[in-house]
Amino acid sequence: MKKPTVGATVHYVSYGTPGGEYAKQCRAAIVTEVRHDGPDLHAPVLSLAVLNPTGMFFNQDVTCSKAHDGGTWHWPEGG
Ligand SMILES: [Zn+2]
């Protein structure tokens, strides 16, 4: 798996609502900072600018999860 760098586009998984009105969704996110290496050197902890259809927000300390947990990032290919 390639290592993300500043400016790369990854997926951020939005949290669904507790009642299930909204499911988790993949959102486009631009890497704004590589915070530090996580346990997996190819899956560092990132800061992201997350692009939602209705707005943009900034997030720090986002960890990688291939399981697509809410609040994590992954490569769009699913890697
Ligand atoms: Zn995705």
Instruction: Find the 68 Cα to ligand 1 centroid distance in Å.
Output: 7
Give me the pLDDT at residue 35, please.
Answer: 92
Q: Which residue has the tokens 């209705």?
A: 54
pLDDT at residue 30 greater than cutoff 60: yes
Tokens of 6: 């500043």
pLDDT at residue 53 greater than cutoff 80: yes
Instruction: Find the 13 Cα to ligand 1 centroid distance in Å.
Output: 7
Average pLDDT over residues 55-68: 94
CA angle at 27 for the pair 29 and 72, rounded to the nearest 5° = 75
Instruction: Find the 24 Cα to ligand 1 centroid distance in Å.
Output: 10
Instruction: Find the 76 Cα to ligand 1 centroid distance in Å.
Output: 5
Average pLDDT over residues 39-53: 90
Per-residue pLDDT band at 37 (split at 50, 70, 90): confident
Domain ranges of the chain: 9-74
Q: What percent of the chain has pLDDT over 90?
A: 65
